[in-house]
Amino acid sequence: MGQKKVFGIVLAGGEGKRLMPLTADRAKPAVPFAGQYRLIDFALSNLFNSGIQKIVVLTQYKSHSLDRHVSHTWRLPAMLNQYVASVPAQQRLGKQWFSGSADAIRQSLNLIHDENPDIVVVVGADHVYRMDFSQMVDAHIASGLGATVAAIRQPLSTSKSFGVIEVDQNEPHKISQFLEKPAHCEGLPDSPNEILASMGNYVFDADKLVEAVIRDSDLDGSKHDMGGDIIPGFVERGDCGVYDLNDNDVPGSTPRDRYYWRDVGTLDSFFDAHMDLISTLPIFNLYNEQWPIFSQQLNSPPAKFVRDSRGSTGTMIDSIISLGCVLSGAHIERSVLGPWVKAESGSAVVDSILFDRVEVKPGAVVRRAIIDKNVVIHEGAQVGVDHDHDRARGFTVTDSGITVVEKNGVVLP
């Protein structure tokens, strides 16, 4: 990144309706992930590891849990001129909340003016991946363009789920068209069965970003969205490049997880991303010490596996167990358990995700489920076994058969 001043903005105001009920009481970026993390930790860790250490997090929807996590976890030493600051909607330009991601930046331009950077890196807060943004910034500067979009290769069949990037045949690092969730599009010249999908991460020349969000604020019909309005504007002006994640080399990555990226915006994708973690050779490796994912280190004892009153030790297979868990004669298989989970004698947790302080009483069964924090599953109760019974109790059941129990719930037989 040379001598350029680089400033990071994390867009974290999203409501996350498709993750309900996990987002009923928290912002989407604050949703727990992989036991001890929050979703926002991946974006912040990538920026910090990339050497971008002046970062603001723009929040809005039910942000208390998110603000608390950022303030507790991301306290950087002020004497080194580093910071991660959570910034709520401040209504600086009138009595209105953010009306889109671009409007969030427009209403927070004081942050850019105060820092006076050369380059602004804008990222989403709800994706699971590793990326060295310093390499993308270098590519952006070399391009001479005003904006650069990070892209990942995805199957052609998934085009209607993404913003799709088409490149200029004569200048392959320049975007010729940006198509929002097209029903049909062409594959890549070097890989006809793949597309370049936007990752929701951008690099801008600071002055051009400021001009763009101000210009967009006056446009009739604009949704004031970074991907839907700002980037297409740069493309129309011939001032937008693309950065292929395949060109990014993260220290410590493996061929299996080098280009991993998941949008965990639905309950099914959230569940699948957890299942990617638990194999012997995981699709996404949390144990990369050269590019760590930082999070709050709880003042908690180690996990404990003990015999129950009958002398049974239980079993634990292909699972992630967080600090503070006590498992007594329980069977845990292909599951992720958050901090301070208790599973008692004869209980079974299979293909499931349990958030903080869930209690699974003796003989209870949890299968293919997501259980939010502080839920108590009583003796002999079942979750994820009979979907009709789950629905009758008010639990969410996805089309693929994942049962979700909301925070502070009580599950009776």
- Please say whether the beta carbons of 132 and 49 come within 8 A: yes
CB-based burial of residue 337 (10 Å sphere; 0-12 exposed, 13-18 middle, 19+ buried)? buried
198 annotated among ligand-binding-site residues: yes
163 annotated among ligand-binding-site residues: yes
Which residues are CB-contacts of 197 (< 8 A; sequence separation ≥ 6)?
Answer: 151, 152, 153, 154, 158, 159, 161, 162, 163, 164, 165
d(CA 224, CA 12): 15
Collapse the DSSP code of 289 into the 3-class scheme (helix H, G, I; strand E, B; otherwise coil) and give the result: coil
Collapse the DSSP code of 395 into the 3-class scheme (helix H, G, I; strand E, B; otherwise coil) and give the result: coil
Q: How many Cβ atoms from other residues are within 10 Å of residue 71's Cβ?
A: 12
* Cis omega (within 30 of 0) for bond into 21: yes
211 annotated among ligand-binding-site residues: no
406 annotated among ligand-binding-site residues: no
- Sheet arrangement for strand 336-337: 320-321, 336-337, 353-354, 369-371, 403-405, 396-397
Helix axes 64-73, 40-49, angle to 10 degrees: 30
Which residues carry a binding-site annotation? 163, 180-181, 198
Which residues carry a binding-site annotation for alpha-D-glucose 1-phosphate? 163, 180-181, 198
